Amino acid sequence: DSVGDATSSRRSGSPSSPPTADVQQKIDVNPPKGTRDFPPEEMRLRNWLFQNFREVSRLFGFEEVDFPVLESEALFIRKAGEEIRDQLYCFEDRGNRRVALRPELTPSLARLVIQKGKSVSLPLKWFTVGQCWRYERMTRGRRREHYQWNMDIVGVSGVTAEAELIYAIVMFFKRLGITELDVGFKVSSRKVLQEILRCYNIPENLFGNVCIIIDKMGKIALDDVKRELKSTGMSDEAVGQLLEVLSIKSLAKLEEILGSSGEAVADLKQLFSFAEKTGYSEWIQFDASVVRGLAYYTGIVFEGFDREGKLRAICGGGRYDKLLSTFGGDDIPACGFGFGDAIIVELLKEKGLLPELSFQVENIVCSLDPDLQGAAALVASILRGKGQSVDLVLESKPLKWVFKRAAKINACRLILVGTSEWQRSMVAVKILSTGEQYETKLDELD
Ligand SMILES: OCc1cccc(Br)n1
């Protein structure tokens, strides 16, 4: 119906004004605030990064999926006061539907899993790399879009799933030359919070809100965190005890406080044991203050951080066992993570690990005689048919211009279609790195 809308507005709306002869007011050539263009050099880096996302996902046996950037707004409306809600890029479309540019990918994944229902066998291991949006007041000058790599495991209730996800990210870091001396993962479980809140008879329905408030620790003043916690109805004592537990950095200490019978300690001990056995325990550490800022996490949560503390969280994820059922789906356990494309590039720059990615074309083909432009196109198509890249010079240009362009596009070979050679079904070849040149029959050109 959007086409109809467009047409109807043209039919009923203002007639398009005839093209004016004078030069139009120059348009703003910058992309919208908070968004980025990807010119060739930036696009090469982005493709390199995404290729690494995809290769790690392949190594772990995950299948690629994708969803619309535009989703029903309802998918992201959660009561718990999350930042992601405040910054939702949402609007009413021409069909009077409330829609939003997705701020994250997990709700879309949950929607698709429910939609697929019994037609998909569990466990599902899906990954995606997708652009996500937030409408943030530009006062903070932050981006409004980024690309996120997500890996999700649906249908596995044990922490082997979280261990697998964290290990996938460890392998990704290793591929890029980032080591455990550069980054680490803070790991905790929302069940720690749950067990504390139960001790203080805090109602379960406040759980999400309390998590969101705690996630602000370190981002807003501690007194403001305390005030927000009290505003949920928590007593001073409960707030004090909660903050005390959240400062715990050792699993042994946590076990002293919570005992060893609870699920929180059991899950975390198992996760650390898997990390030990898989060989990445030096990458992870327990930190009770990690809760993550999304209301739907129910168990293990983790976030990647740079040990120099210069950057915001590099990635983050956790278990969200109730998300599918809150959407009306079955009660299926799930966990996953999101990994943004911007912070990692800042880290790579910091560490001097940005790759050198140059553009290269194998052949530049040109004819010096305008009557042989067609012949040059034939030579190009023969080479392309053999899987070789060709920059075909499309206008009659002096040889000096051709050599300059050959250097610019990093061409390996220059193929010249000249009048005398062509009459003998030959072309001239120049290897640009060595200067070696020779003639060859067209059908022997390889
Ligand atoms: O990490 C939160 C987020 C979501 C959407 C867009 C951007 Br930029 N950042």
What is the 8-class DSSP label of residue 299? S
Residue 138 pLDDT > 90? no
Mean pLDDT value of segment 222-233: 93
Ligand 1 center from residue 102 Cα (angstroms): 10
Q: Which two tokens stand for residue 142?
A: 């932050």
Distance between CA atoms of 216 and 83, rounded to whole angstroms? 10
Average pLDDT over residues 406-413: 98
| Dist CA 79 CA 126 (whole Å) | 27
Testing ligand 1's pocket by substitution, the residue of 146, 212, 311, 315 carrying the most ligand atoms inside 8 A of its CB is 146
The span from the CA of 365 to the CA of 36, in Å, is 34
How many other C-beta atoms can be found within 10 angstroms of the C-beta atom of residue 349?
A: 10
Using the mean position of ligand 1's atoms as its centre, give its distance from the Cα of residue 132 in Å: 6
ipTM of the complex: 0.97
Q: Pick the atom of ligand 1 nearest to 34's CA.
A: 8
Find, among 367, 377, 339, the residue nearest to 428 by Cα.
367
Cα angle 11-16-20, degrees, rounded to a multiple of 5: 170
pLDDT score of 238:
87
Q: What is the mean pLDDT of the chain?
A: 93
pLDDT digits (tens, 9 = 90+) for 238-290: 899 889 989 999 999 999 988 989 999 999 999 999 999 999 999 999 999 99
pLDDT band at 18 (very low <50, low <70, confident <90, very high): low
Task: Tell me the C-alpha distance between 44 and 94, whole Å.
Answer: 37
Total-model pTM: 0.91
Ligand 1 pocket by Cβ (under 6 Å): 103, 132-134, 143-146, 340
17 — pLDDT class (breaks 50, 70, 90): low
Q: Are 299 and 89 in contact (CB under 8 A)?
A: no
Q: Single out the residue of 79, 86, 82 nearest to residue 215, CA to CA.
A: 82
Which residue type sits at 139? Answer: T
pLDDT at res. 204: 79
Label the pairing between strands 413-417 and 390-392: unpaired
pLDDT tens sequence across 330-364:
999 999 999 999 999 999 999 999 999 999 999 99
Distance 144 CA to ligand 1 centre (A): 7
